[in-house]
């Protein structure tokens, strides 16, 4: 093994360009590959003492930050677990992989290699304890890890083998606030907790915030146990420790949303002095303001261990021999969240956040079964309906603007949208262009609606299909950009999109007319034809546009036809439309009930069934009569 490590050392040394990459020519470079301990927590924003939160109780992470490096601008590329973890695993944005929709289980391309495979090839013993949630259907965790289980541990490695070990805690997960702890049992007082300006200070909101801080404290204690275990084994001086949260959370408008609250994560590195050449700054305890995001993790791991970074990877190494210059932007995305469709993309630089909403006709606070288990969001909705919310708090229950722009330095809770402020027109144009450049460069699969892409893919990986020459991604992108601008002068262009041979372009044509609302009346005939389209997604959007134009009969015919479609995601989309237009006529109710009756499965993981169950409840019918199997 020593010969192996020496050969890797010399390869690393030569590959690095000698002293240029290293922090100092005087820093010795160890022969041994470092152990790497990767500690992750679920659903928590950087509400930690080391990030300046004086209400938080996080002594272990505060100490880790004092011994290492705290990244102030670290981001999850997706604000929810499975797409975020898909990006972490592959080093490719999940929306480029075709895996951006929550729990969608589409295949991974053979071109894209999970990072444990690289590490094992380099000689690491790799363990994962034990969260996977990779959002794909063709990865067997037992094949990519040496051990992936609740007993997986670096202690089980051969004595002379370096380890890469992941430990994940779900203590701070969203579900931790679904069941309320009595106020007198909380360690953090609901009366003392800070309530962000976008949240109303209802008793339930204050309680859930306080309970969440308790859970973050418990999470910190677990991190401390893992760090102590490393210390007790005498391995701290040979082990690089990564700690990060898997996305923001957990109260409403954080997890699932491409704001700071949903994507900004705690990220701390502790690097032993033995590997000082990897230090991002000279002194430990430093804060690093480089923009980093999850897509950067795979190239950074490869850079640390001296493995050349493949061209297909989409991130930037922020440590090691292949470290890049600081990037100008970090990028985020949102697709379907369980049973609810929405599509957003976001760009973050050091100061500003830009958000492009590709479905601006949807409210932020769409009813989502799991999200609405929290007492806090239910109280927020009730407060809004009772007229008890101010403008900032009411925005969550209204439709979205096409573009959002925030000065995050002066407006950290992202309340004041600057997109229409002429003083920021240059910033808006720059970041709008950055978003378009990014989604074009990575061949973002999200611009093909889900049911349509299922039919096109025929079981193949979308990453490959987008690079096969069979899809004109640039034309689809252009249609999406024009359609979502919501400009009446583009109505003829939108009509022409409905005549395209490409179903995705027709979808964006229909979407643009939906966004125009009453101003799309001159396109009524074209929309009526679109209710017979071969693409169910086009039918759904055209039906919604027609319904809003008063053409309710033909709109309902289109939706009823889609409810009989074999594609689960076509049906789920139609059910979203039925809910949003508040349609509950006898024929629509009968169509939904027939769909439920003929379903092969009625489990919670069938998102058309989740959407249908909500409609049954909304219509004040008895869900038990329909034999849903919704065990959680």
Phi, psi dihedral angles at 404 (to 5 degrees): -130, 140
Determine whether 389 is an active site residue: no
CA–CA distance, 510 with 549 (Å, rounded to integer): 13
Phi, psi dihedral angles at 510 (to 5 degrees): -65, -40
CA–CA distance, 339 with 341 (Å, rounded to integer): 7
Catalytically annotated residue among 19, 25, 81, 580: 81
Q: Which residues pair with 126 in a beta bridge?
A: 164
Can you list the positions of beta strands (E) in 19-173?
A: 35-41, 69-75, 125-129, 147-148, 163-169
Closest alpha carbon to 131 in 74, 77, 86: 86
Burial of 159 (0-12, 13-18, 19+ CB in 10 A): exposed
CB atoms within 10 A of CB 246: 27
Do residues 436 and 492 touch, judged by C-beta distance below 8 A?
Answer: no
At a CB cut-off of 8 Å and minimum separation 6, what does 240 contact?
Answer: 34, 35, 36, 37, 269, 270, 271, 272, 275, 278, 304
Do residues 545 and 508 touch, judged by C-beta distance below 8 A?
Answer: no
At a CB cut-off of 8 Å and minimum separation 6, what does 630 contact?
Answer: 602, 603, 604, 610, 613
CB atoms within 10 A of CB 8: 18
Secondary structure, 3-state, 112-145: CCCHHHHHHHCCCEEEEECCCCCCECCCCHHHHC
Supply the residues annotated as catalytic. 81
């Amino acid at each position: 093994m020593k010969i192996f490590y020496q050969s890797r050392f010399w390869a690393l040394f030569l590959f690095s360009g000698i002293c240029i990459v290293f922090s100092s020519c005087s820093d010795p470079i160890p022969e041994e590959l470092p152990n790497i301990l990767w500690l992750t927590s679920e659903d928590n924003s950087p509400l930690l003492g080391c990030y300046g939160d004086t209400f938080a109780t996080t002594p272990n992470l505060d100490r880790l930050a004092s011994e290492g490096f705290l990244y102030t601008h670290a981001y999850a590329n997706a604000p929810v677990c499975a797409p975020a973890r898909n990006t972490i695993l592959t080093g490719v944005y999940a929306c480029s992989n075709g895996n951006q929709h929550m729990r969608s289980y589409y295949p991974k391309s053979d071109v894209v290699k999970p990072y444990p495979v690289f590490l094992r090839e380099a000689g690491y013993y790799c363990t994962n304890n034990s969260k996977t949630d990779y959002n794909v259907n063709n990865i067997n965790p037992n094949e990519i890890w040496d051990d992936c289980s609740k007993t997986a541990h670096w202690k089980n490695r051969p004595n002379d083998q370096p380890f890469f070990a992941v430990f994940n805690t779900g203590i701070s997960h969203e579900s931790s606030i679904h069941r309320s702890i009595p106020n007198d049992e909380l360690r953090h007082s609901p009366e003392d907790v800070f309530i962000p300006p976008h949240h109303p200070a209802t008793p339930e909101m204050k309680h859930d915030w306080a309970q969440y801080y308790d859970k973050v404290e418990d999470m910190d204690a677990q991190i401390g146990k893992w760090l102590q275990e490393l210390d007790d084994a005498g391995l701290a001086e040979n082990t690089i420790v990564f700690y990060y949260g898997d996305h923001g959370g957990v109260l409403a408008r954080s997890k699932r949303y491409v704001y700071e609250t949903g994507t900004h994560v705690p990220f701390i590195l502790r690097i032993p002095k033995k590997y000082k050449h990897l230090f991002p700054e000279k002194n430990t305890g430093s804060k690093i303001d480089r923009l980093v995001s999850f897509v950067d993790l795979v190239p950074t791991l490869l850079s640390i261990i001296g493995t050349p970074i493949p061209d297909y990877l989409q991130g930037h190494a922020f440590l090691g021999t292949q470290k890049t210059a600081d990037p100008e932007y970090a990028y985020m995305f949102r697709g379907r969240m369980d049973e609810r469709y929405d599509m957003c993309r976001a760009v973050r630089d050091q100061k500003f956040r830009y958000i492009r909403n590709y479905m601006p006709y949807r409210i932020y606070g769409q009813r989502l079964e799991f999200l609405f288990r929290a007492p806090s969001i239910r109280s927020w909705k009730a407060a809004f309906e009772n007229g008890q919310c101010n403008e900032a708090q009411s925005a969550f229950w209204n439709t979205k603007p096409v573009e959002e722009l925030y000065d995050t330095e002066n407006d950290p809770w992202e309340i004041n949208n600057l997109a229409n402020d002429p003083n920021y027109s240059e910033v808006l144009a720059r970041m709008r262009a950055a978003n378009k450049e990014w989604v074009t460069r990575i061949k973002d699969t999200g611009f093909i609606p889900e049911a349509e892409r299922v039919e096109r893919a025929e079981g193949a990986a979308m990453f490959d299909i987008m690079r096969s020459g069979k899809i004109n991604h640039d034309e689809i992108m252009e249609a999406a950009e024009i359609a979502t601008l919501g400009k009446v002068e583009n109505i003829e262009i939108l009509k022409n999109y409905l005549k395209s041979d490409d179903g995705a372009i027709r979808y964006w044509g229909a979407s643009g007319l939906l966004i125009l609302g009453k101003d799309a009346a001159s396109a009524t005939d074209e929309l009526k034809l679109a209710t017979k389209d071969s693409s169910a997604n086009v039918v759904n959007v055209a039906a919604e546009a027609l319904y809003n134009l008063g053409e309710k009969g033909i709109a309902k015919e289109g939706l009823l036809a889609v409810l009989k479609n074999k594609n689960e995601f076509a049906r789920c989309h139609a059910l979203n439309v039925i809910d949003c237009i508040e349609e509950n006529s006898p024929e629509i109710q009968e169509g939904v009930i027939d769909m439920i009756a003929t379903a092969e499965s009625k489990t919670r993981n069938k998102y058309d069934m989740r959407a249908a169950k909500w409609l049954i409840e909304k219509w004040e019918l008895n869900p038990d009569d329909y034999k849903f199997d919704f065990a959680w």
